[in-house]
Structure 1
Amino acid sequence: MDLNEPPKKRRAESIVPMINVVFLLLIFFLMTSQLLRPEPFDVTPPEAATQAEVKAHPILFVTSEGRLSFDGAEGEDAIAAIAAQSRASDVIQIRADANLKAAAFARILQNLAAVGLSRVELVVSKK
């Protein structure tokens, strides 16, 4: 009869602290990231000799047919929505298709000026 204490088995290392760190990192990245909405339609920007970095935040999308989209609103609702949102800064970004007619673009600029937006930045690609 053996009265000695049985040898203690080494306890396996716990993975709970690692799981806690992973969840904390996941929560951190979810809280600090900014999710962007997908573009409402594909737009091929016009070409220009120089390309400056566009800094304006509200983005108005314009198709080659002159269809407008901003933050889920389309047409005249898009112009009203972008005017309401951009009261703090009167600079907006326009991503217009390269095949958009100049007369249609001028009409869009007149509509933007009528609601109080005086400056726009047109997104272009470099030649």
Structure 2
Amino acid sequence: MDLTEPPRRPRAESIVPMINVVFLLLIFFLMTSRLAQPDPFEVTPPTADLDAPLDAETTLYVDKTGRLSFDGQEGEAALAHLAQTSATEAVLQLRADSALEATTAAGLLRDLAAAGFSRVELVVSPK
């Protein structure tokens, strides 16, 4: 009769701490990231032979009928909200549809100047 204890297997490493670290990193990256909002409506930008990068982070959308959208608000409410933002942002990115009439665009630029924006960048697509 053999009364010796059988040899013990080495205890496996626990992966629970590694799982905790992965979840903490996941939560950290989700909390610190900026998720992009989808475009409020379809805009077809005009074409140009210009490859200059855009400097603006604030974006105003204008469709072919002249409807405005900024930060989830539309129309006059978008302009009012944009006027509040103009104190912190010096450059505005304008995503206008290529079918937008020039008179409507000129009136909009006048309203943006009155709101405090001295520089507006028009988004175009390359030819």
The corresponding residue for 1:108 is 108
TM-score, reference length from structure 2:
0.89
- CA–CA distance in structure 2, aligned partners of residues 7 and 18 of structure 1: 29
Structure 2 spans left out of the alignment, 5+ residues = none
- The question of whether the paired residues in 1 share the 8 Å contact of 2:55 and 2:91 is answered with no
Is the Cα contact below 8 Å between 1:51 and 1:125 reproduced in 2? no
Q: Is the 8 A contact 1:45 1:97 kept in 2?
A: yes
Q: Deviations over 1:41-66 (max 9, x none)?
A: 11111111213111111100000111
How many aligned positions are there? Answer: 127
State the one-letter code of the partner of 1:70: F
Give the root-mean-square deviation of aligned CA atoms. Answer: 1.5
Deviates more, 1:91-100 or 1:3-12: 3-12
Q: Does 1:21 align with 2:21?
A: yes
* Cα distance in structure 1, aligned partners of 2:57 and 2:86: 9
TM-score of the aligned structures, taking structure 1 as reference length: 0.89
Aligned positions of 1:75-86 closer than 5 A: 75-86=75-86
Whole-angstrom CA distance in 1 between matches of 2:67 and 2:99 = 12
Aligned counterpart, 2:99: 99
Cα drift, residue 111 of structure 1: 1.4
Mapping 1:39-118, distance limit 5 Å: 39-118=39-118
Structure 1: 5+ residue runs without aligned partners?
Answer: none
Of all paired residues, the percent bearing the same amino acid is 61
User: What do the CA deviations read for 1:62-102 (whole angstroms, capped 9, x no partner)?
Assistant: 00111000001100111111110121233211000111111
Structure 1 residues 2-61: Cα deviation after superposition (integer angstroms, max 9, x where no partner):
321222133233221331232132123213321111111111111112131111111000
Give the whole-Å Cα distance in 1 for the aligned partners of 2:35 and 2:89: 22
The answer for the alignment partner of 1:36 in structure 2 is 36
Task: Quote the Cα distance in structure 2 between the aligned partners of 1:122 and 1:116.
Answer: 17
Contact 1:46–1:124 at 8 Å: present in 2 too?
yes
